[in-house]
Amino acid sequence: MTSSSNPAPDSAHPTGHRRPLRRLTARSRGEEHRAATPLELFFDLCFVVAIAQAGVQLVHAVAEGHAGEGILNYAMVFFAIWWAWMNFTWFASAYDNDDVLYRVVTLVQIAGVLVLAAGVSEAFQDHDYGAVLVGYLIMRLALVGQWLRVARSSSGPERAMALRYAGGVLICQVGWLGLVLLPEDARGWWFLVMAILELCVPAYAERIHPTSWHPHHIAERYGLLTIIVLGETIAAATVAVKTGIEENDALGELLPIAAGGLLIIFSAWWVYFVVPIHGHLRSNRESFLWGYGHYVVFASAAAIGAGLEVAVEESLHEAHISTLAASAAVTLPTALYLLTVWALHARYFKMGIAQQLVLPTTALLVICCTFLGEWAVFTAGLVSALGVATGETLTARRHARQRAAATREPAA
């Protein structure tokens, strides 16, 4: 399988070499060997910088006893990061022509997320969303430029769809100014209104002409970002444990947290990739709901790392919260992650009540681990790993029974 998603050479460009400008036309949904490009991987890595900044600020807020305010700010900032990433991902799946202008505009979007990342601390600490909005504006205007290129290169319903996308994004950008102009008490509600409007833009635009996104490519792009976010979670937790050992010589206190956190993250990776999801992505209705639901997947995965850092700080008596609250900072996002992955795609590949109940039951037991004091994180990790093992065992047994039945049928 090739790692390039460049369009096949066409009559306008028979040699296949990259030209400075091409028509930005739709790619085929049935294109073979479609995979993520190096530019898309670079895009993801730069976006994780902003995700890491949001996680750091969430740690500070929770450790200082301001969990409610911290979670609200985290949800708002994470939405801006995720939504810009998601819009680019689906656009690129349908229209990536890899010419010079396309690459430059994508790099502009990367610059925008770095500006957003620079403003995350001000958004959390001072409720100043100025830099976040500027970064978001850069990313979104770059995407508008891409949609206008599509409109120029197309006609009929596809052109109308592209113009709807461009117009919808621009209108939403004006609405986001409310986060700067409105009183602080109203900003949470205004964020909710604007988030709903943003989510409606793709549905409105594609009513007249669906984009030709590629199911395998979309599944791979979401899977890659999941891996990167989980990797960032491991990195953040590792730094926290390392700092605690070096500064406080507290290996005994931190070892259960480190072991439990590692088991949780390994389990999170396993349950996400246990089944191939691209076959389930057949229509806009199914795929958009699946894509939107990943806001919770990505946000909860990143929050697990923040929770592990909080648990480390609490065990070293550096956090101003109880052990119960520190444990909940790990167990609640873990349970939310497991439930969301199950709801989005794992449940479609489970047969029978026993298999269907494994992940929901595991999530419930992880929540119960919250009340186990200093052993809460370690026990939650064990429960997560046992849930994965149970699910794999039930699946293997079912497959064995199916193979045995298939073997007996010819003999009968």
Looking at the structure, tell me whether residues 188 and 239 fall in a common domain: no
Q: What is the pLDDT along the chain (412 residues), one digit of tens a residue?
A: 333 344 443 433 433 455 667 788 888 887 888 888 999 999 999 999 999 999 999 999 999 988 888 999 999 999 999 999 999 999 999 998 888 999 999 999 999 999 999 999 988 888 888 899 999 999 999 999 999 999 998 889 999 999 999 999 999 999 999 888 888 888 889 999 999 999 999 989 998 898 888 888 998 999 999 999 999 888 888 888 887 777 777 777 788 998 999 999 999 999 998 777 766 677 666 788 888 999 999 999 999 999 999 999 888 888 889 999 999 999 999 999 999 998 887 666 665 576 778 889 999 999 999 999 889 999 999 999 998 888 777 766 665 665 666 676 554 4
Q: How many domains does the chain have?
A: 2
Largest CA distance in the chain: 76
Looking at the structure, tell me whether residues 126 and 245 fall in a common domain: no
Looking at the structure, tell me whether residues 281 and 235 fall in a common domain: yes
Looking at the structure, tell me whether residues 275 and 355 fall in a common domain: yes
Please indicate, yes or no, if residue 3 is contained in any of the structural domains: no
Please indicate, yes or no, if residue 284 is contained in any of the structural domains: yes
State the Rg of the chain over Cα.
23
Amino acid at 192: L
Please indicate, yes or no, if residue 407 is contained in any of the structural domains: yes
Which of 171, 205, 239 delimits the end of a domain?
Answer: 205
Which of 205, 238, 258 delimits the end of a domain?
Answer: 205
Which of 155, 177, 205 delimits the end of a domain?
Answer: 205
What CATH number should be reported for the domain holding residue 292? 1.20.1410
Please indicate, yes or no, if residue 269 is contained in any of the structural domains: yes
Q: Are 105 and 92 in contact (CB under 8 A)?
A: no
Token duo for residue 360: 């929901």
Q: Are 293 and 331 in contact (CB under 8 A)?
A: no
Please indicate, yes or no, if residue 330 is contained in any of the structural domains: yes
Q: What is the pTM of this model?
A: 0.87
Q: Helix 130-153 vs helix 156-175: angle between axes, to the nearest 10 degrees?
A: 170
Looking at the structure, tell me whether residues 252 and 387 fall in a common domain: yes
Q: What is the pLDDT of residue 403?
A: 65
Q: What is the pLDDT of residue 26?
A: 81
Please indicate, yes or no, if residue 31 is contained in any of the structural domains: no
Looking at the structure, tell me whether residues 199 and 230 fall in a common domain: no
Looking at the structure, tell me whether residues 374 and 323 fall in a common domain: yes
**Structural domain harbouring 247:** 215-411
Q: How far is CA 269 from CA 31, 279, 334, in A?
A: 28, 19, 12
Q: What is the pLDDT of residue 157?
A: 93
Please indicate, yes or no, if residue 10 is contained in any of the structural domains: no
Token duo for residue 78: 């994470």
Q: Are 220 and 104 in contact (CB under 8 A)?
A: no
Looking at the structure, tell me whether residues 165 and 143 fall in a common domain: yes
Please indicate, yes or no, if residue 129 is contained in any of the structural domains: yes
Looking at the structure, tell me whether residues 277 and 380 fall in a common domain: yes
Looking at the structure, tell me whether residues 78 and 194 fall in a common domain: yes
Q: What is the pLDDT of residue 346?
A: 67
Looking at the structure, tell me whether residues 188 and 270 fall in a common domain: no
Looking at the structure, tell me whether residues 251 and 200 fall in a common domain: no
